[in-house]
């Protein structure tokens, strides 16, 4: 059937717009969109002595001597229902991780998270904790999901640059955590690095100590509300975002592969279990073909 030209001209813009919206929607690839089964791999470390695990070996002092590995007898990773929708629940009872992707490079990740009410005995006195590990392999980056300190950077053995300035105005969340961690984390000091998009590049040499930069600005929503986290990874650079605002940028990351330096451009993508209940939903990613605009000004 042949249509009048007037109808053709009317439909053509609509078809064009429909194609644009369709392509835009199809760019986002679901990782978790409310399924009622958990299909992701996981790993779990050695439980705290206050946690009861039937049959797991302990020493004479009552401390566990082995990790749980790929077993999850305590249901650390489950699907829960909140407000009539399925979400991922990470209990935090044992340190570990839920592996969303075995390997991923050049992508824009978007997800929503919020805190639960439960914090385990071994985390008493400290803010609730979690995180996103990315480009995980021999080394890894971390986007902190730390109550009152979301978006900060933690890593060891990575050579990289971050725009930053020194500050003595240490956020309350880090001050509360410091007494529990300072015997393990020598870089938790009275003066620390704060992300500053207008600051000079601070160069980390990839030492075997915690390399920390505090996120800036903080704009986490109040307890009980969903936060939107975004992670943009392009080549060996990355951007951390929370609720629509950039609060940290990672540049020029490298790692030592024997005697060679290699760009850190890909690896596993993992959600951490670190002592408190945290929920996740609407986890999607988009493959990147070109330099993201949000990174462009840092790469000139």
Per-residue model confidence as pLDDT tens digits over 247-280: 999 999 999 999 999 999 999 999 999 999 999 9
Domain boundaries, the chain: 30-296
Residue ranges, the chain, pLDDT below 70:
1-26
30-296 adopts what CATH topology?
Jelly Rolls (2.60.120)
Residue 42's nearest CA partner among 8, 4, 69 is: 69
- For residues 91 and 118, the answer to whether their CB atoms sit within 8 Å is yes
- For residues 70 and 90, the answer to whether their CB atoms sit within 8 Å is no
* Per-residue confidence (pLDDT) for residue 300, from 0 to 100: 78
Per-residue model confidence as pLDDT tens digits over 26-45: 599 999 999 999 999 999 99
Residue 239's nearest CA partner among 165, 294, 285, 297 is: 294
* Distance in angstroms (rounded) separating the CA atoms of residues 183 and 187: 10
* Per-residue confidence (pLDDT) for residue 10, from 0 to 100: 43
């Amino acid at each position: 059937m042949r249509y009048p030209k007037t109808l053709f001209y009317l439909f053509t813009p609509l078809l064009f717009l429909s194609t644009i919206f369709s392509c835009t929607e199809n760019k986002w690839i679901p990782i978790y969109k409310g399924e009622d089964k958990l299909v992701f791999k996981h790993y779990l470390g050695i439980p705290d002595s206050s946690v009861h695990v039937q049959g797991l070996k302990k020493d004479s002092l009552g401390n566990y001597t082995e990790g749980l590995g790929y077993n999850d007898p305590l249901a650390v990773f489950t699907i829960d229902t909140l407000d009539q929708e399925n979400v991922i629940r990470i209990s935090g009872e044992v340190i570990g991780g839920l592996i969303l992707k075995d390997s991923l490079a050049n992508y824009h990740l978007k997800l929503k998270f919020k805190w639960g009410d439960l914090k385990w005995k071994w985390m008493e006195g400290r803010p609730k904790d979690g995180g996103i590990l990315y480009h995980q392999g021999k080394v890894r980056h971390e986007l902190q999901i730390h109550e009152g300190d979301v978006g900060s950077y933690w890593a060891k053995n990575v050579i990289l640059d971050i725009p930053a300035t020194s500050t003595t105005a240490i956020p309350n969340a880090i001050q509360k955590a410091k007494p529990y961690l300072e015997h393990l984390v020598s870089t938790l000091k009275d003066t620390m690095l704060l992300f500053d998009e207008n600051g000079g590049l601070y160069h980390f040499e990839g030492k075997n100590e915690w390399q920390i930069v505090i996120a800036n600005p903080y704009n986490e929503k109040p307890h009980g509300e969903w936060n939107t986290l975004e992670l943009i990874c392009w080549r060996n650079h990355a951007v951390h975002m929370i609720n629509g605002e950039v609060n940290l940028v990672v540049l020029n990351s490298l790692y030592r592969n024997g005697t060679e330096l290699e760009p850190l451009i890909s690896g596993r993508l993992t959600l951490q279990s670190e002592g408190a209940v945290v929920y996740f939903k609407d986890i999607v990613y988009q493959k990147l073909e070109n330099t993201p605009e949000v990174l462009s000004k840092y790469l000139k």
